Structure 1
């Protein structure tokens, strides 16, 4: 009797501790098979860099970066209501306290934001969100270990020197013109 009571309490505690909050990762997984979405996982190999020519700072920045997860919703005449629903879901997720907003731009029909997860010294992911009412929206998760704002800025300079393999990004063609 005592044993069943303890088991019942443990199950109740486990069930009550489950979090129904949506995360970006769960949102990506839930929509990975949805025909209205384009899902891409891109590794650092997309950059086609000669690592021997990189400075130690650039190498450190590149090593902090693991991959990009891209989820894009392509809006058309048949899915406009779903576009509104899905973009509201993403906005709601990004309002959660774990996502710290760095910047937001809103011109009415175009919206973009940059957020991050983690602390300023140990960023686990950067999130770039862009929405254009006539085309759709995209969410890009930049995943890595021990990333920091300096690494991201350095990575941006490395991007200028890279020969990006555009074949990996082909499914996004025409989404954000």
Structure 2
């Protein structure tokens, strides 16, 4: 009898502790197999860098980068209403200020882009780049890392400029955005 009681309590704690709030991670998982969506996971190896030529700051920024997840949705004549629904879902997720802190927002109305992050300003776990264009589609990029900060992000962008990106990892995105 004690075993059954213990199992019932453990199961109920497990069920109640699960977070059912929408998140970008859950959105990516839920939509990765759906028509119209393209999901690409990018590893740091895509950069093809000569690490001996990096400065100490560039090495630190690069070491904080773990991977990138890209989810894109291309609009066409048949999926315009679905596009609006999916765009609203992304916007609602990113409005959750308890999880996502917005750094910048560009554009207005249905076209625009934003940069957000998860974590605190000195220990960022994830940068989120989101862009939508009503006649083209949208893309969400999750840059995952450990103890990133805005300065590291800017340094990382300088590293990207010097990299010799392996386009094979981005093949699925080819021709998606005009």
**TM-score above 0.5, yes or no:** yes
Moved more, 9-18 or 121-130: 9-18
What are the superposed Cα offsets for residues 81-121 of structure 1, whole Å, 9 maximum, x if unpaired? Answer: 11011111111111122111111112334210000001111
Whether 2:78 is the aligned partner of 1:78: answer yes
What are the superposed Cα offsets for residues 131-170 of structure 1, whole Å, 9 maximum, x if unpaired? Answer: 0111110000000111111111101111111111223222
Structure 1: gaps of 5 or more residues: none
Q: How does 1:1-177 map to 2 (within 5 A)?
A: 7-96=7-96, 97-177=98-178
Q: Name the SS of the counterpart of 1:176 in structure 2.
A: coil
Query: Cα offset for 1:2?
Result: 6.8
Structure 2: gaps of 5 or more residues: none
- Contact between 1:73 and 1:137, CA under 8 Å: does it hold in 2? yes
Moved more, 105-114 or 74-83: 105-114
The whole-number CA distance in structure 2 between the counterparts of 1:73 and 1:55 is 37
User: CA, structure 1 residues 6+109, in 2 after alignment: closer, same or farther (shift >3 Å)?
Assistant: closer
- Contact between 1:132 and 1:176, CA under 8 Å: does it hold in 2? no
Q: How many residues align?
A: 177
The whole-number CA distance in structure 2 between the counterparts of 1:85 and 1:109 is 12
> Aligned-residue CA RMSD in angstroms?
1.6
Provide TM-score, normalisation by structure 2: 0.91
Moved more, 30-39 or 167-176: 167-176
Provide TM-score, normalisation by structure 1: 0.92
